[in-house]
Structure 1
């Protein structure tokens, strides 16, 4: 989260230097350099390993739908639509998306 704050403050400094036309020439190059430095350190995520199964995020509607479908009695489109607040065509479309995974 600290990298995010550093990136945000660097971006705000660039915008402030850009908006301040009187001192733009003096502050803008320093602000841009600080922004570049902050951006250089932001790539901390790693790509998903295709060999590992994906884990659904907690508390999502997709996870709620999957839990309903895994019940012994299953779930109808109407039940899922009511639980998620989706239209029936959205529920059917989500099934198509789940099928691709």
Structure 2
């Protein structure tokens, strides 16, 4: 519910910066996956969303051909290496002890 209250503002910001068809996106800590889901529909089959989290159970159930869910600890493991059009880390800093 928390993320759904913030989603409209996030979606407006992502639209404003030009997220569009064919984008390659990385979401770090997607939570329930509502923005990952929106990104998948926004970027279409030409794009890709990689969603990384400590626990992927909430995004594993999303069925999008352009979504890759990966279990990853961003403190101790490297992020997938490639160029992204968008990196979206909602609330990531709140969970990092070294911030």
TM-score bracket for the superposition, by shorter chain length: under 0.3
More strand by share: 2
TM-score of the superposed pair, with normalisation by structure 2:
0.20
TM-score of the superposed pair, with normalisation by structure 1:
0.19
Larger Cα-atom Rg: 1
More helix by share: 1
